[in-house]
Copies of this chain bind each other. A is one copy, B any other.
Amino acid sequence: MARRRQSVTIKHVAADAGVSLQTVSRVINNEPNVREAMKARVQESIDRLGYVPSIAAQRMSGSRSYLILALNDRERTIADWRARQGTDWVDQMLLGGMLTCAEFGYRMMVELVDTHNDHVERELGAAVAALQPDGVVLTPPHSENPLITNLLAKLDIPFARIGSKEEGPGIAMTMDDEGSAKLATDHLLELGHKRIGFIAGPSDYSLSGWRIDGWQKAMAARGLDTHNLCGRGDFGFQSGAEAARKLLRLDDRPTAIIASSDQMTLATLETARAMGLSVPRELSLISFDNTPIVRFTDPALTAIDQPIAETISTAVRMLINANGEELPDTPVVVSGSLQERGSTASPRVDVSA
């Protein structure tokens, strides 16, 4: 590999403008104590020479790296990519993250780390030592992994925890899981449903519990029973099908089901169909995630949209300002919304009643 040196350095600019390196540095970093005339002169040289500071050099001399790391679960992410089922979490993350980073001259880099693994700390430590990011965005389930949060805290690197409400270091953020579940439940209640089932996500994700809470509270507010109506899955298709089967085989089976992921809802749809139930006539369905596939099922799925891009964007913004402004000490909430589609309707009136 040819030894590649910066073609235009701060030295060239300084020489060109006839000032010291330091003055150029001050202009680059927008520091005070530079007269306007001087600033203009230096800027002119910068523009004309097409000078752009080397991030490596900036980082070396103790300044920032202008890098935000987005940490994702390796196993799940790769599985999603391989499965090609339209899960666009990473895309939405990049949409919110990259664009917001770019606004401030930062870049976002995706890093995959195994959570369920004894060398998480080594992996993350290596990434941080090599890259020296100015901030880290943790996505579930990393957000709640103390090995990760403690290490980041110890290293004194600002980080955001998406999908975590716990106190402690780092910015806690949620997409309002409880509120979203309530939103979905209320929608069904207003349509006239009384038996509403729920298929939760895995228990090692706190947000699984929050969603159950939202559903239960909405039901309780109308004095409705939720006994036996809560199933569990792991967000995947198989687990969704099993949970759906259980709920739909109940003597007094639900007239509507909310499932915590698109794959589980899709599984519920297929399970219902296999049992001869028509959606939405005999069973209404609301999904969580709103990934691309929900528009292609028949009927299209009413779904809770997770504001991933907006959440990551907010996280990045706060991380970049982590030096200046003080960080919030209560969880930052970015709320989702309900996208109505064809899988929800009023329950069929029971003629035998």
| Number of A residues, CB within 8 Å of B | 64
Determine which residue in A53, A95, A156 has the highest number of CB atoms from chain B within 10 A of its CB, and name it: A95
Contact B125 A50 (CB under 8 A): yes
User: Of B2, B50, B81, B130, which one neighbours A92 at CB under 8 angstroms?
Assistant: B81
Interface residues as binary, A74-93 with B (CB distance below 8 Å gives 1, 0 otherwise): 00001011101110101110
> Is A297 located at the chain interface by the 8 A CB criterion?
yes
Interface residues as binary, A1-17 with B (CB distance below 8 Å gives 1, 0 otherwise): 11111111000000000
Among the listed stretches A55-63, A185-193, A229-237, which one makes contact with chain B, having 4 or more residues with CB under 8 Å of it?
A: A55-63
Contact B60 A56 (CB under 8 A): yes
Contact B57 A122 (CB under 8 A): no
Copies of this chain, complex-wide, total 2
* Bound complex: CA A80 to CA B186 (Å): 32
> Is A293 located at the chain interface by the 8 A CB criterion?
yes
Contact B84 A291 (CB under 8 A): yes
**A residues adjacent to B (C-beta < 8 A):** 1-8, 50-57, 59-60, 62, 64-66, 78, 80-82, 84-86, 88, 90-92, 94-95, 98-99, 102, 107, 109-112, 122, 125-126, 129-132, 134, 155-157, 290-293, 296-298, 309, 322-323
Query: Hey, which chain B residues are within 8 Å of A64, CB to CB?
Result: 1
